[in-house]
């Protein structure tokens, strides 16, 4: 059966609602804004392949750093900055966190030896950052036992042999799905809500909400852990869809999501009662429209006064480019294992902050700076104790389905559990 693909029909003048999750590599030079597996900022270096405006921005930022250094030199302070800069050829200040494998980079060459988390935490405590937008990806769920896509050896892409797909992204390719939905269903079995539990990072974001600071969370994840930890629907944009609903991939006739889940969990293929094509959970595939809620970004990002980016490789468009839509004066904090997207640029944009290392560790450290750590632990304990029995009874394969390192409801310090499961 021939599949219906969207991206070839849309042009530059498409409506917002036609933005779709799409692989840019299939359409070189296409004028519309698309969802792509390769972000426009991928592998961008200051010297090559960058649009003129970002070259200019980078040059201006270089100028700002040099001005600061010149001014510090005039005040006799350059040697301190210079020694801080010894780890970075870009003029950034780099500080190891004591007792951790994290490293922290500030965007400017100012003299105060404060790390990224300390700086952002201080601004939050001063009440200067009240509208926080969080942008997240698979890295926030690895501590819950769900592999991400790209971490070598552990990522889902690295373990795709068992899915028997010709290339990794084919799992989310609608054409491939129409030929053989089993690889996606096999992945879906891993990711269906009910098999895993939210971790410390999810609860940190919920705490941002409870403190009245969360403007919105934009997640690429489809594991449902944000909802499960209690982040309310109106604060959450599941940009790549979810398993909450299902419909025929061909004629879009809705299908009961529980029935779809039951079929997929029992290795059966749910089929449409109207046209007999395969039923698909409403996870957004390449070439499919993003949910309407995604377009709230047009209002949210200009209002943000802090952007926290966590656990994403920023490889998928149009999601990846969202991080470039906050005002240039707005601090952006990246928490990840390595620099990605605009944070690969050297020097960093002024007010870009980078904390490299394990996410649970970094988030916990930020929570401690904010004085929230105990509150988050209490929240986790009470919420997990309330929801765990429900999770077990709702999990179709409850025996051994949940990650063993995260399955103990009696654990009093979930962050320790999560750290162990990430590091092992
Ligand atoms: P990705 O491309 O796999 O990138 C994940 C990023 O997180 C990488 O840069 C990792 O280095 C980083 N990371 C992973 N674990 C940690 C950790 N413990 N501490 C610090 N950094 C860490 O994933 P993206 O989300 O960027 O890609 C988007 C895809 C992945 C979306 O379409 C998702 O649907 C899809 N996906 C979702 C899930 C999920 O729902 N949990 C899992 C796997 C893939």
pLDDT band at 388 (very low <50, low <70, confident <90, very high): low
Nearest CA to ligand 1 atom 31: 220
Helix (H, G, I), strand (E, B) or coil at 290: coil
Report the percentage of the chain scoring pLDDT > 70: 62
What values do phi and psi take at 101, rounded to 5?
Answer: -95, 5
Best mutation site among 241, 310, 311, 356 for ligand 1 pocket (most ligand atoms within 8 Å of CB): 311
Sign of the alpha-carbon torsion through 319, 291, 136, 146: negative
**Model confidence band, residue 171 (pLDDT cutoffs 50, 70, 90):** confident
Whether residue 120 has pLDDT greater than 60: yes
Does residue 311's CB lie within 6 angstroms of at least one atom of ligand 1? yes
Give the relative orientation of helices 116-125 and 359-370 as an angle to the nearest 10 degrees. 40
- pLDDT tens digits, residue range 188-218? 888 888 889 999 999 999 999 999 999 999 9
What average pLDDT does the segment 181-187 reach?
88
The CB of 220 under 6 Å from ligand 1? The reply is yes
Instruction: With a cut of 80, say whether residue 233 has pLDDT above it.
Output: yes
Contacts of 99 (CB under 8 A, 6+ apart): none
Would the pLDDT of 243 be above 70? yes
pLDDT value of residue 104? 78
User: Which residue among 39, 97, 137, 335 is best mutated to probe the pocket of ligand 1, counting the most ligand atoms within 8 A of its Cβ?
Assistant: 137
Structure tokens at 105: 């980079």
Average pLDDT over residues 102-130: 79
Does residue 227 line the site of ligand 1, with CB under 6 A?
Answer: no
Query: Using CA atoms, how far apart are residues 75 and 69, in angstroms rounded to an integer?
Result: 10
- Whether 151 is in the pocket of ligand 1, judged by its Cβ within 6 Å, is yes
Q: What is the helix (H) or strand (E) element at residue 415, kind and residue range?
A: helix 414-423
Please check the confidence at residue 393 and state whether its pLDDT lies above 50: no
Q: Cβ(62)–Cβ(348) under 8 Å? A: no
| Whole-number pLDDT of residue 415 | 37
* 158 CB within 6 A, ligand 1: no
pLDDT of residue 356: 97
**pLDDT recorded at residue 384:** 84
pLDDT averaged over the chain? 72
Encode pLDDT of 265-290 as tens digits: 999 999 999 999 999 999 999 988 89
Q: What is the pLDDT of residue 237?
A: 98
The CB of 290 under 6 Å from ligand 1? The reply is no
Q: From ligand 1's centre to the CA of 368, what distance in Å?
A: 25
CA of 139 to the centre of ligand 1 (A): 4
β strands within 20-102, DSSP E: 20-21, 93-96
Ligand 1 midpoint to CA 418 (Å): 16
pLDDT higher than threshold 80 for residue 12 = no
The closest of 142, 195, 149 to 170, measured between CA atoms, is: 149
What's the pLDDT at 378? 96
Peptide bond into 65 cis (omega under 30): no
Residue 150 in contact with ligand 1 by CB distance below 6 A? yes
From 320, 327, 321, select the one nearest 301 (Cα to Cα).
327
Report, as residue numbers or ranges, the catalytic residues.
Answer: 240
> Percent of the chain at pLDDT above 90?
52
Q: What average pLDDT does this structure show over 34-42? A: 44
| Res. 159 pLDDT band, cuts 50 70 90 | low
CA 85 to centroid of ligand 1, rounded, Å: 30
Give residue 386's pLDDT band: very low, low, confident or very high (50, 70, 90). Answer: confident
């Amino acid at each position: 059966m021939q599949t219906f693909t969207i991206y070839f029909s849309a042009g530059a003048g498409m409506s917002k609602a036609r933005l779709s999750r799409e692989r840019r590599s299939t359409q070189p030079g296409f004028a519309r804004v698309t969802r792509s597996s390769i972000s426009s900022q991928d592998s961008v270096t200051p010297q090559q392949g960058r649009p003129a405006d970002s070259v200019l921005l980078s040059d201006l930022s270089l100028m700002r750093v040099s001005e600061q250094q010149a001014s510090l030199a005039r005040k006799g302070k350059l040697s301190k900055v210079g020694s801080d800069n010894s780890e970075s050829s870009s003029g950034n200040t780099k500080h190891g966190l004591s007792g951790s494998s994290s490293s922290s980079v500030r965007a400017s060459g100012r003299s105060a030896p404060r790390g990224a988390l300390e700086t952002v935490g201080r601004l939050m405590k001063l009440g200067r950052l009240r509208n926080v937008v969080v942008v997240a990806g698979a890295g926030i769920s690895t501590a819950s036992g769900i592999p991400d896509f790209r971490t070598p050896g552990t990522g889902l892409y690295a373990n795709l042999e068992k899915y028997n797909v010709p290339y990794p992204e084919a799992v989310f390719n609608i054409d491939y799905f129409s030929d053989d939905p089993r690889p996606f269903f096999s992945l879906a079995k891993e990711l269906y809500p009910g098999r895993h539990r939210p971790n410390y990072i999810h609860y940190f974001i919920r705490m941002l909400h409870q403190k009245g600071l969360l403007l919105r969370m934009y997640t690429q994840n489809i594991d449902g852990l944000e909802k499960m930890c209690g982040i309310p629907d109106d604060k959450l944009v599941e940009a790549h869809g979810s398993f909450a609903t299902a419909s025929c991939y061909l004629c879009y006739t809705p299908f009961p999501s529980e029935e779809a889940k039951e079929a997929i969990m029992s290795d059966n293929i749910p089929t449409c009662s109207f046209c007999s094509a395969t039923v698909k959970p409403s996870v957004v595939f390449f070439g499919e429209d993003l949910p309407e809620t995604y377009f709230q970004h047009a209002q949210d990002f200009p209002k943000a006064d802090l952007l926290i980016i966590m656990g994403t490789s920023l490889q998928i468009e149009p999601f990846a480019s969202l991080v470039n839509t906050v005002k240039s004066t707005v601090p952006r904090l990246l928490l990840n294992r390595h620099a990605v997207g605009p944070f690969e640029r050297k020097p960093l944009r002024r007010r870009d902050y980078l904390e490299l290392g394990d996410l649970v560790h970094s988030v916990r450290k930020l929570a401690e700076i904010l004085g929230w750590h105990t509150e988050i632990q209490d929240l986790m304990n009470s919420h997990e104790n309330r929801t765990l029995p429900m999770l077990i009874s709702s999990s179709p394969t409850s025996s051994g389905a949940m990650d063993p390192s995260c399955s103990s409801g009696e654990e009093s310090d979930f962050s320790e559990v999560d750290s162990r499961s990430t590091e092992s």
